[in-house]
Amino acid sequence: MIDNGLLVQMLLGALLGLSVYLPLAAGQLSLATPAFYAVGGTLAALLSTRWRALGATAGGGFPVPSLLLELLLGGLLAGVLALLVGRLVLRLRGIYLAIATIALVEIVRVAILNLPFTGGAIGIFSIPQPFSEASGYLLMALLLLALAGGLCHRLEAMPMGRAMAAIRDDELAAACMGIDTTRVKLTAFVLSAMVAGSSGALAAHFLNTWNARQGSFDVSVTTLAFVILGGSRTWLGPVLGGLLLTALPELLRPVGDVRLVLFGLVILLGPVLAPQGLITPALLERLGGAGREPASREDHP
């Protein structure tokens, strides 16, 4: 029932979940993930179809090192965009930040739709394939997820991650304790964009075609649902949420367009039934204390 193709989509879902989680871990509700995903995907689609030096073959093949380069560039471009935009929008708090980031998603979508070189409504198609089988993409997606997940895991035990958690609890108090809140929020925002940008670059090749619809407001809502269902207190939450909610509609194919209703329901019912999401620090502690550093006097480096 679950083939490799679906697994790749699930892993991409998990990556986008992490992208929404990162700013949220610093208390910032950003819905900009689809914008950065679209930017990464469009860059990869353009580079691989237009730039011969990357080595796309006539038969539609593509060298793997070039793909890796695109993942890097997609992440970097998204990161730079986040750095520029973040300085501006991260001054906003709460729902106002969410609205501003929705605007960013729309601006990027309309830009991709109307720019002379992005293929308009049809988009860019026949994107060359680095792998002939879905298993290659699966490996690549796993690699990306391991990188992003590893980063989030390290963050939780690092000053940066602790500062993010402090800002989530009380931004003013954090500032009064010497934490440069602007810098911490901006870092989380840029990391989030880089994860989304790289994921977009991989998705463009995997999907074979890329257009403006890939980064729409719908994706903002679905990716937010990943985090709400999975839980935003540890990075494992959005990963699980992304995997589950990407698989569900595929497994419930007959439901079709009701999918969005389903996501809406999750966003509505999630906080009621499981206020902290499926994966909470308490759950991890019961499962063997993987989530939190023990507060022991002895330190084991």
Partner 1 sequence: MSAAATASSAATAPLLEVQELSCRFGGLLALDRVSVAVQPGEIFGLIGPNGAGKTTLFNLISGLTPPSGGTVLWRGEAITALPPHRRNRLGLARTFQNLRLFDGLSVLENLLVALQPRSRNSSLDGLLGSARFHRAERLRRETAWQLLDELGLTALAEREAGTLAYGDRRRLEMARALATGPSLLLLDEPAAGLNPAEKEQLCALIQQLRQRHQLTVLIIEHHVPLLMRLCDRMAVLDFGRRIALGSPEQIRHDPRVIEAYLGSGPQGAGEATA
> Which residues here bind partner 1, judged by CB under 8 A?
151, 154, 158-160, 162-163, 165-166, 168-170, 172-181, 187, 233, 295, 297, 299, 301
Amino acid at 240: L
Tokens coding 138: 């699966």
Which CB, 1 or 176, lies closer to partner 1?
Answer: 176
Smallest distance, partner 1 to C-beta of residue 15, A: 19
Distance CA 164, CA 270 (A): 24
Smallest distance, partner 1 to C-beta of residue 245, A: 25
Q: How many CA atoms does the CB half-sphere of 47 hold within 13 Å?
A: 25
Which CB, 60 or 289, lies closer to partner 1?
Answer: 289
Tokens coding 5: 């193709």
Distance CA 30, CA 88 (A): 13
CA neighbor of 235 nearest in space, from 165, 142, 156: 156
Which CB, 109 or 168, lies closer to partner 1?
Answer: 168
Place of tokens 């989680």: 21
Terminal Cα-to-Cα distance of the chain (whole angstroms):
44
Distances (CA, A) of 204 to 38, 45, 248: 9, 6, 22
Classify 61 as helix, strand or coil: strand
Per the DSSP assignment, residues forming a β-bridge with 124 are: 210
C-beta separation of 231 from 278 below 8 A: yes
Smallest distance, partner 1 to C-beta of residue 85, A: 21
Which CB, 172 or 272, lies closer to partner 1?
Answer: 172
C-beta separation of 177 from 166 below 8 A: yes
Smallest distance, partner 1 to C-beta of residue 184, A: 10
Burial 94-124 (b: 16+ CB within 10 A, else e): eeebbebbbebbbebbeebeeeeebbeeebb
Smallest distance, partner 1 to C-beta of residue 187, A: 8
Which CB, 3 or 169, lies closer to partner 1?
Answer: 169
Smallest distance, partner 1 to C-beta of residue 255, A: 36
Which CB, 257 or 299, lies closer to partner 1?
Answer: 299
Smallest distance, partner 1 to C-beta of residue 233, A: 8
Which CB, 168 or 205, lies closer to partner 1?
Answer: 168
